[in-house]
Amino acid sequence: MSLGVEIEAENGSFHIEIDATADYSFKKKTALDELDTFFYVNAPALLFPYIRAYISTLTNLSGFPPVNLPTLNTTHLGEELRDHTTTLSES
């Protein structure tokens, strides 16, 4: 899954765009129709804290006051993730 975040300061002093990609795998072979809402709702929620931490660290180390994004309810992203989920065959 890919999750993008774009942030720009109100005064235009900086602009940040981040596209993060996460690959999820399962220990046992799982059909797409067996993935329940739990996975689709939680997959984006697992990735977003890494983006938040990266932006905070990047701005802090760049001499700007750290940008601390608020927590985000990613529940609405679950349906979009479901629509774009594909499987890879094992080699």
Residue 12 included in any domain: yes
Residue 20 included in any domain: yes
Residue 32 included in any domain: yes
Range of the domain at 12: 2-83
Residue 8 included in any domain: yes
Token representation of residue 22: 């996460």
Phi first, then psi: give them for residue 10, nearest 5 degrees.
-60, -35
Residue 71 included in any domain: yes
Supply the DSSP string of 11-41, one letter for each residue. TSS-EEEEEEE-----SS---GGG--HHHHH
Token representation of residue 16: 């940040």
pLDDT for position 89: 67
When divided into structural domains, the chain yields a total of 1
pTM of the model: 0.75
Beta carbons of 20 and 3 less than 8 angstroms apart: yes
Beta carbons of 2 and 18 less than 8 angstroms apart: no
Per-residue pLDDT of the chain (91 residues; tens, 9 = 90+): 889 999 998 898 889 999 999 888 778 877 777 777 678 888 889 999 999 999 999 889 988 788 899 988 888 888 888 888 777 665 5
Residue 89 included in any domain: no
